[in-house]
Amino acid sequence: MENKPIYRRILLKLSGEALMGSGQFGIDPSALNFFAFEVKAIHDLGVQVGIVIGGGNIFRGIQSAAKGIDKVSGDYMGMLATVINSLAFQCALEALGLETRLQTAITMTSVAEPYIRRKAIRHLEKGRVVIFGGGTGLPNFTTDTTAVLRAIDIGADLIVKGTKVDGIFDSDPMKNPEAKLLKLLTFNDAIIHNLAVMDQTAFTLCRDHKIPIVVLNINKQGNLLKLVQGESIGSLVTS
């Protein structure tokens, strides 16, 4: 018998780079499908899932080629890139039979609903996966901050930050093979030591609203499922 989930509702944060797979930019269909299956596995247990996806896989290439774009315009371009990724992920989830809704902070009624908190909660209660695109709709905010704000709005029990490493380390594990995995730390630890896994605004908001964060390797099949079933996966940041 499958273990019951210990979380009722989560907010999953994926980077745009995760969708590149082994590529240098754009969207790898195999990566898209892999993450869709991971979400389906927890959805099938009854976990309500909200998702925020970054736009780095699309905007990084634009950014390197388009010099002279001012910061605010660049931020809006990045927000639009998140909508492209969100549409792609929506299609991947629906191909597996999941019902979804895409809401955007920048109004674009031809492709998505506008972000409305009460409507998002109602979708989740009806078993729909809700994808939040377009960032906050304002420049100067990261998609990490967007994820935390949406988690607060929908009353998520947990934020899951999917990365390509096993959690938060005391040094860069890509450069230092002796780096130590930190299984448990506080928000104050993360803020004081300026841990780069999420931005400071995101950590501060989570601390103030008492929403724990788990940072895990989203590329390991089954990690997300094990987490919601209560296994200790990745690094937990809590009050």
Closest by alpha carbon to 75, among 94, 55, 95, 45?
55
Residue 185, classed as helix, strand or coil, is strand
Q: How far apart are the first and last CA of the chain?
A: 33
* Local confidence pLDDT in tens for the 239 residues of the chain: 467 999 999 999 999 999 998 888 889 999 999 999 999 999 999 999 999 999 989 876 555 556 678 888 888 999 999 999 999 999 999 999 999 999 999 999 999 999 999 999 999 999 999 999 999 999 999 999 999 999 999 999 999 999 999 999 888 888 888 889 999 999 998 888 877 788 889 999 999 999 999 999 999 999 999 999 999 999 999 98
Q: What is the pLDDT of residue 61?
A: 54
Q: What is the pLDDT of residue 1?
A: 42
d(CA 17, CA 113): 25
d(CA 93, CA 73): 31
d(CA 39, CA 28): 17
How would you class 1 by CB atoms within 10 Å of its CB: exposed for 0-12, middle for 13-18, buried for 19 or more? exposed
Q: What is the pLDDT of residue 199?
A: 87
| Domains (range + CATH), the chain | 9-238 (3.40.1160.10)
Closest by alpha carbon to 140, among 71, 209, 238, 237?
71
- 140 sits in the region (left: phi over 0; alpha: psi -120 to 50; else beta) called left
Quote the pTM value: 0.93
Q: What is the pLDDT of residue 183?
A: 93
Contact, 77 vs 69, CB < 8 A?
yes
Question: Token match 């639009």: residue?
Answer: 80
